[in-house]
Structure 1
Amino acid sequence: MSDVGEILKAVGDFGPFQQWLVLITLFPCLSVAFHQFCQLFMVAHVPHHCDTSWIRNISPNLTEEEQLNLTLPRDADGEYEQCSMYSPVDWDLSSIVAYGLNATEKCSSGWVYPSGQPPSLLTEFDLVCDRKNLNDISQSVYMLGLFLGTVIFGPLSDRIGRRPVVLISVFLQGLFGVGIAFVPHFYVYMAFRCVVGASVTGISMTILALATEWVGVSSRPEAVLFSHCCFAIGQILLAGLSYGIRNWRLLEIAGSAPIFAFFFCIQVLPESARWLVTKGRIEEAKKVLQKAAATNKRTIPPGLLEQLTPEKQTKSGSALDLFRKKHLQKVTLIMSCTWFVNSLVYYGLSLNVTNFGLDIYLTQLAFGAVEIPARVGCIFTLQWFGRRKTQAVLLLLSGLVCLIIAGIPEDQPVATTVLAITGKFTASASFSTSYVYTAELFPTVVRQTGVGLCLMSARVAGIMAPLIHLLGQYHRAIPMAIFGSAPMVGGLLCVLLPETRGTDLLDDTGGSCPPAEVCENANSSSENEHVKAKDGGQDNEYTKTTQF
């Protein structure tokens, strides 16, 4: 039987075919960045106060200032209260002026906002006072959609293929993304955002799998790096788009509708040849492999292609294996914690862009721009310092920055923003490190299961991050204290993990020793262990190795 990997080597590791594939799949990454953070610019804070037009029925000739003086209490700073008003009475105006109003109540007739303001989620759905928490809750609902997408689209791509899941996810994102611009109620908005979140995960997960299964081992880091950098570019574009379009409905259409252009690439988007072979669809696999070879101007030896047969069913690992063996149990628990705290600090900073005190558009621009050197730089640090040290140090630095932010006075927005950008840099680099480190720690038979479990842990943290921001109403330092202490714990736990730099990837769950030790033992024993095979009457020796 000819291995599909041998044919892919003949096709080329990263020729024009794979380059076009990566380029095509980068386009949806821009929309992913838009949907992750667009709501931050749709809930811009504006002054507001209770609607007290009831007094106009008593005296329609009152000026606005007179109306507010008579119907709104003032706070300690002498400003009008935003969430309370004097209770309406049926007195005449002279009695109200003479005796004044004392009894207060919450706004009962809605709120009044400055005229001339472009429509926003805050003003259209009254996300103020008792309803202001709906903003953070809706962000958590979106993160719930990301979690559901992991559960739904991961298994679905293994069942029906990578290409159909990408197209389904793109269609859902475009349809419900544009549909958000026409929702009549905020709860409908949250439901649509949840679907968009699920489609975002479907796109990001499946595109990564598709690119990984087509690109050769030596070029896979670059392919993943391109998608990460494109996500950062999407954040930069979001800052410019939201600055130019202040109407939240028009902004949603402008950020969602372009994804439909991806359907023009349907004919050139290939299915994974590896997936086709595993499903026994050999003729389809041959056609797509021949097309790839022709695009790369390479030739597949006819005999090699004809020997292509369905892969034999091999024993696969299960989620129980991750907890059944001691070394895998340690890796699973620590890496799940690592992904959790990494996601917590990343979204804790990213979703707090409106509260650092400086212009949110410039801050978002800096947040997006800083991710590009962060993700590129981690590739070199992984080679120089190894996976374990890089992961641990980046998490510790992320936590330290957040703890410093928690102690900075509120009247120092520049220092707070600079530190937040530094924290975003380290958190982004840590995320890229996690992708590489996690894939190397888990054996092949449980790698997808292990990475999926870690990803679910990150999605749970994403759900919690907006809710933790709600604790800021009790003390402004509480959220940043949590976002800072969590990665500090995760960074210390990383010290217990084995180093994987320069070691072979494991294929099976092995014994009771850590992956790095297993590889070292396997490599040392392979020098003395030889397997003899008869070939034309001569004994040929080959060394057993573990390959990915």
Structure 2
Amino acid sequence: MHQHSLATEVITMAEFGDVISALGEFGLYQKLLILLLSLPLLLNPFQMIGQVFMVVEVPHHCDTSWILAVGPNLTQEEQLNLTLPRDADGQYEQCSMYSPVDWDLDSILTYGLNATQKCSSGWVYPSAEPPSLLTEFDLVCDRTVLNDISQSIYMAGLLVGAMFFGMLSDRIGRRPVFLICVLLQGVFGLAVAFVPHFYVYMAIRCVVGAAVSGIMITVVSLATEWVGISFRPKSVLIAHTAFAIGQMMVAGLSYGIRNWRLLEIAGSAPMFALFFYIWVLPESARWLVTKGRMEEAKKLLQKAAATNKRSLPAGLLEQLEPEKQTKSGSLLDLFRKRHLRKVTLIMLCVWFADSIVYYGLGLSVTSFGLDIYLTQLAFGAVELPARLCLIFLLEWFGRKKVQAILLMLAGLMCLILTGIPEDQPVAITVLAIIGKFTATAAFSVSYVYAAELFPTVVRQTGVGLCSTLARVAGILAPLIIPLDKYHRAIPMAIFGSIPVLVSLSCILLPETRGVDLPDDTGAGQTPAQNEKTVEFSKGDTKEEEADLEKGNCRSSESKL
């Protein structure tokens, strides 16, 4: 692309900021949009962590009903005494039984049974317990690992969704991808409640994860591309507060509904109420402009101005007409330019660290020693102020410092947890909640920061790629937790050390506070790169190059 064309596009987008200022940077239109974007986020936490409450540990033992064939009149206590070994505490073993024999009852009573084996005929659970994933699909003993694997497969769905829907959103638009993901989450979330087999459950949950991921990353672009510079953090973080409220709702919902299938229906069915979005959810006008779809963009901008009761100056919209259509960005664009490559690689590490500590703490809720419903309620409650306080912190201190400090604090909390004795559940839970507070805040900063660092033509691709790395961490987190059987400190040591190390790399990122959103991948080029571009551009002059540098709207602080 010639330098002159690129300059035109940069100027065009600078004027887009003027249009947003004219129609209102955060008026009624934008507030209604944020409300629409927030509603699905109320339901996303259920898909993220709901399984924790469907696999609550219950007493169980091997099914030894074989002995009733030779002793039909045995009481349950007599049956268990004869067929189950006891552990060091005198309790019945949960995962082993005496090997069945072809003796009569008198011989069994006289000689007893000695040889033990693993459960061969399934398990018996308390009859009063409502059906859960654990009891219905026998996620106990050797099959316990299936629970962790299923969480990782769900995270793999998040990964696929982040990558696929991120790139798709840059190509076909934010609105259609958002609507597709809402439909997928509703249909497949409801389908989970009717699965006949645990492997089917895992497969469908993978699709749900992809839809959840698509919604999360599309919210970021729609929320940032419709508001003025100073309102970008507020728009994303207000939407994210719905996620925090959703986490508290999960605690109450799972406490009140103990039947896992009914719980799944209750957490998924409300998504169908959002189908009216087809008529009311707008596309990103900024994205439409970069695609050259000017008439659609102008209609949306005029509607936004009317809703905000503002009038656009005559001729302002006509100045948005680009000389030529902006080329679609691709994944490779994130690594071709040096400034984008450095930003991309560091943000990938930041999102990985955010995710490993966030999910590490969130999925460990059952091991902190206190009631899991109260702990989850506290986890959700602490996310609300964590997100709200960022609205002010990001404006006062900027993105870079806040991102680095919060990541480091989240990691330090996990490292401190490794030294707290197991018989101090209150201290462990308090430290875990502080860790969850800082991890949540760090994750929210990353959403705002990434949306501001990546240009419009590859914004969703960039955020999607970062989210992909976060989902790799999400896949690993459930697999790291079982390492506590070797030493209880191992999982938290891993969850803590990674964010502490990554926080140091944030120093190399540019600051984006008060800087207009970049739209083309050329924004932020180094002088050397600009000179190369000029060599291949006919008719371009050094003066045009200087104009381009001014048009980039990049502060000297934000240049790499």
TM-score for both structures, normalised by structure 2:
0.87
8 Å Cα contact 1:395/1:426 also seen in 2:
yes
8 Å Cα contact 1:386/1:500 also seen in 2:
yes
Cα distance in 2 between the residues matched to 1:336 and 1:258: 33
Residue 435 of structure 1 is matched in structure 2 by 447
Residue 370 of structure 1 is matched in structure 2 by 382
> Structure 1 residue 544 and structure 2 residue 544: aligned?
no
Cα distance in 2 between the residues matched to 1:501 and 1:365: 33
Residue 486 of structure 2 is matched in structure 1 by 474
Residues 394-431 of structure 1 show CA distances to partners (whole Å, capped at 9, x for unaligned) of 22221221122122222221111111001001111111
1:508 to 519, 523, 529: 523
Residue 167 of structure 2 is matched in structure 1 by 155
Q: Report the 3-state secondary structure (helix = DSSP H, G, I; strand = E; otherwise coil) of the residue aligned with 1:375.
A: helix
Distance 1:311 1:76, change over 3 A: farther
Residues 217-242 of structure 1 show CA distances to partners (whole Å, capped at 9, x for unaligned) of 22222111111111101001111111
> Structure 1 residue 46 and structure 2 residue 58: aligned?
yes
1:32 to 32, 44, 65: 44
Residue 362 of structure 2 is matched in structure 1 by 350
| Amino acid in the other structure paired with 1:92 | D
8 Å Cα contact 1:327/1:512 also seen in 2:
no
> Structure 1 residue 73 and structure 2 residue 73: aligned?
no
Cα distance in 1 between the residues matched to 2:218 and 2:197: 32
| Amino acid in the other structure paired with 2:79 | Q
> Structure 1 residue 134 and structure 2 residue 140: aligned?
no
Distance 1:356 1:321, change over 3 A: same
Query: How far is the alpha carbon of 1:60 from its aligned partner?
Result: 0.7
Distance 1:42 1:279, change over 3 A: same
Distance 1:10 1:509, change over 3 A: closer
Q: Report the 3-state secondary structure (helix = DSSP H, G, I; strand = E; otherwise coil) of the residue aligned with 2:280.
A: coil
Cα distance in 1 between the residues matched to 2:145 and 2:525: 49
8 Å Cα contact 2:407/2:503 also seen in 1:
yes
Q: CA RMSD in A?
A: 2.8
Query: How far is the alpha carbon of 1:99 from its aligned partner?
Result: 0.6
Cα distance in 1 between the residues matched to 2:73 and 2:369: 40
Residue 221 of structure 1 is matched in structure 2 by 233
Residue 62 of structure 1 is matched in structure 2 by 74
8 Å Cα contact 1:505/1:546 also seen in 2:
no
| Amino acid in the other structure paired with 1:467 | L
Residues 133-161 of structure 1 show CA distances to partners (whole Å, capped at 9, x for unaligned) of 11111111111111111122122223332
1:479-494 paired onto structure 2 within 5 Å:
479-494=491-506
2:472 to 460, 467, 473: 460
Distance 1:364 1:473, change over 3 A: same
In structure 1, runs of 5+ residues without a counterpart are 514-528, 532-540
Cα distance in 2 between the residues matched to 1:448 and 1:165: 11
> Structure 1 residue 11 and structure 2 residue 23: aligned?
yes
8 Å Cα contact 1:11/1:293 also seen in 2:
yes
Q: Report the 3-state secondary structure (helix = DSSP H, G, I; strand = E; otherwise coil) of the residue aligned with 2:106.
A: helix
Cα distance in 2 between the residues matched to 1:454 and 1:486: 16
Query: How far is the alpha carbon of 1:315 from its aligned partner?
Result: 6.3
TM-score for both structures, normalised by structure 1:
0.89
Q: Report the 3-state secondary structure (helix = DSSP H, G, I; strand = E; otherwise coil) of the residue aligned with 1:85.
A: strand
8 Å Cα contact 1:445/1:508 also seen in 2:
no
1:73-472 paired onto structure 2 within 5 Å:
73-301=85-313, 303-305=315-317, 309=321, 312-314=324-326, 319-320=331-332, 322-323=334-335, 328-441=340-453, 448-472=460-484
Cα distance in 2 between the residues matched to 1:155 and 1:221: 23
Structure 1 window deviating more from structure 2 (492-501 vs 71-80): it is 492-501
Cα distance in 1 between the residues matched to 2:476 and 2:344: 21
Query: How far is the alpha carbon of 1:18 from its aligned partner?
Result: 1.5
Structure 1 window deviating more from structure 2 (15-24 vs 447-456): it is 447-456
Distance 1:75 1:479, change over 3 A: same
Distance 1:306 1:324, change over 3 A: closer
1:510-525 paired onto structure 2 within 5 Å:
510-511=525-526
8 Å Cα contact 1:325/1:512 also seen in 2:
no
Query: How far is the alpha carbon of 1:253 from its aligned partner?
Result: 0.5
Cα distance in 2 between the residues matched to 1:163 and 1:144: 24
Cα distance in 1 between the residues matched to 2:288 and 2:445: 30
Q: Report the 3-state secondary structure (helix = DSSP H, G, I; strand = E; otherwise coil) of the residue aligned with 1:298.
A: coil
Cα distance in 2 between the residues matched to 1:271 and 1:542: 28
Q: How many residues are aligned here?
A: 526
Residues 475-522 of structure 1 show CA distances to partners (whole Å, capped at 9, x for unaligned) of 222111111111121123334545555667766242289xxxxxxxxx
Cα distance in 2 between the residues matched to 1:416 and 1:509: 45
Distance 1:18 1:384, change over 3 A: closer
Query: How far is the alpha carbon of 1:372 from its aligned partner?
Result: 1.5
| Amino acid in the other structure paired with 1:117 | E
8 Å Cα contact 1:86/1:101 also seen in 2:
yes
Structure 1 window deviating more from structure 2 (32-41 vs 332-341): it is 332-341
Query: How far is the alpha carbon of 1:451 from its aligned partner?
Result: 3.5
Query: How far is the alpha carbon of 1:437 from its aligned partner?
Result: 3.6
In structure 2, runs of 5+ residues without a counterpart are 1-7, 529-541, 555-560
Q: Report the 3-state secondary structure (helix = DSSP H, G, I; strand = E; otherwise coil) of the residue aligned with 2:97.
A: strand
Residue 521 of structure 1 is matched in structure 2 by none
Q: Report the 3-state secondary structure (helix = DSSP H, G, I; strand = E; otherwise coil) of the residue aligned with 2:117.
A: strand
Query: How far is the alpha carbon of 1:322 from its aligned partner?
Result: 4.9
